[in-house]
Amino acid sequence: MGVTNDSDTPSGEPPSTAVSASTPASRRKAKLQFATLCWTLFLAGWNDGTTGPLLPRIQSVYNVGFALVSLIFVFNCLGFITAAAANVWLMGRLGFGKLPVLGSVFQIIGYVLEAPAPPFPVFVLGYFANGFGIALQDAGANGYVASMKENTSTKMSILHAVYGLGAFSAPLIATQFAQMHYWSFHYLVSLGISVSNTILLIAVFRFKDQDSDLAEIGQAPVHDQENEGNGGNQYKQIFRLRTVHLLAFFILIYIGVEVTLGGWIVRFVRDLRGGGASSGYISSGFFGGLTVGRIGLLWVNHKIGERRAVYLCGIIAIGLELVIWLVPSLIGGGIAVSFVGVLLGPIYPIVMNHAAHVLPPWLLTGCIGWIAGFGQAGSAFLPFLTGALASKAGIKSLQPLLVSMMGLMVGLWALVPGKPHRAD
């Protein structure tokens, strides 16, 4: 049985540390926890929105082509996958309250390595640390919000709208730094945000486990003790679930499309559409559309159903991507990119909500940790693939790749079950 969105009264008695969800204290605590996780996702979005506008400058400073500069995505990807694989084990050893803090520390290390514009191998290593840290935090935040029983769908949409806000804001700043002599000082801004994120995670969650933090907002644990004790360890239970793998690959393609479009579109516009130094603002337009879509299309999701909404948004986005590809217009392409962002926006929170319905609740945090962490590798894998293709065929290969990946994304969604499935 999945976690329901409209249930106000959790099954079973809450722990002795729990307070009634109707008290002002518990409501304030719930809002503070959610706001902290939103700040964590803002930073994740900020990070993803940073690279695109800086990419031409990175190539120029380090004198590297498409293939070599794509190593930053390779090492970023390795960081994401390493964290995704280790997430369940680390969660069992450290608990929810410590794991995102560990991730935030790795993110700080990444920005410290990147800020002084060190030799390229060290710069690339910073992206590994960053990827590892973001994946741990992303997994924890998504798993925690999916475990909340009140207004889960709306909270998930807001959480990822804030991610979009971060990704929208970063290019506005990064575009300015890209034109400065000390371009890498942009990472000092990122470092400041990251330090504040670490402080908030420590102050709000205080290194406690997830059940204790949920108890503080009046919610009983969602774990099923009887099922937790059977069927082997959590790794075996999670990896026996076909739905987990389908959702993980779907999210990998989705995030890959999102970050590839938001990043490489700057180079595409500059090289093939005659865009100038301000082309980075098109990346902001895309991520701004993403933010608007995650809030503004909530009513469409409720009206036609979330499963149908993914098909509708995906197919229309493919049509708009064809316009960007085939119509050689700078202004028209820029507008179309923003609308693609609007349409892609609601898909990620819909998928996370769907996971909460179709996956066993006692495995939900671990499952979502793997889905989010593995899926986040798409933000590195597809941009790297784009760079590798561009080094052979030119940046014109960007649009055919995006269209084909969007088509694959829609096809994968058709394979995802619509009803709960338990482990065998």
Amino acid of residue 371: I
Structure-token match 């036609």, residue found:
304
Most confidently modeled range among 40-49, 51-60, 101-110, 207-216: 101-110
The two tokens of residue 405 are 């990946």
Rounded CA-CA distance 349/158 in Å is: 9
pLDDT digits (tens, 9 = 90+) for 257-298: 988 888 788 888 888 887 776 777 788 888 888 889 888 887
Q: What is the DSSP string of 238-284?
A: HHT-HHHHHHHHHHHHHHHHHHHHHHHHHHHHHHHS---GGGHHHHH
pLDDT digits (tens, 9 = 90+) for 62-100: 998 887 888 888 898 889 888 888 887 888 788 888 999
Share of the chain above pLDDT 70, in %: 91
pLDDT digits (tens, 9 = 90+) for 227-268: 444 434 777 888 888 999 999 999 999 999 988 888 788 888
pLDDT digits (tens, 9 = 90+) for 151-177: 877 888 899 889 888 988 888 898 889
- Residue (of 355, 336, 358, 305) closest to 403 by Cα position: 336
pLDDT at site 22: 60
Rounded CA-CA distance 323/246 in Å is: 29
pLDDT at site 208: 86
pLDDT at site 221: 66
Least confident of 155-159, 209-213, 229-233, 371-375: 229-233
Rounded CA-CA distance 26/98 in Å is: 22
pLDDT at site 421: 59
CA atoms within 13 A on the CB side of 63: 1
- Residue (of 391, 357, 336, 373) closest to 147 by Cα position: 357
φ and ψ of 375, to 5 deg: -60, -35
pLDDT at site 20: 45
pLDDT at site 222: 57
Is the pLDDT assigned to residue 8 strictly greater than 90?
Answer: no
User: Which residues in 243-252 are b (16+ Cβ under 10 Å) and which e?
Assistant: bbebbbbbbb
Which carries the bigger pLDDT value, residue 220 or residue 188?
188
Is the pLDDT assigned to residue 224 strictly greater than 50?
Answer: no
What average pLDDT is seen over the chain? 83
Could you tell me the CA-to-CA distances from 175 to 18, 51, 251, 291, 342 in Å, in that order? 47, 10, 28, 19, 22
pLDDT at site 15: 41
pLDDT at site 226: 42
pLDDT at site 129: 95
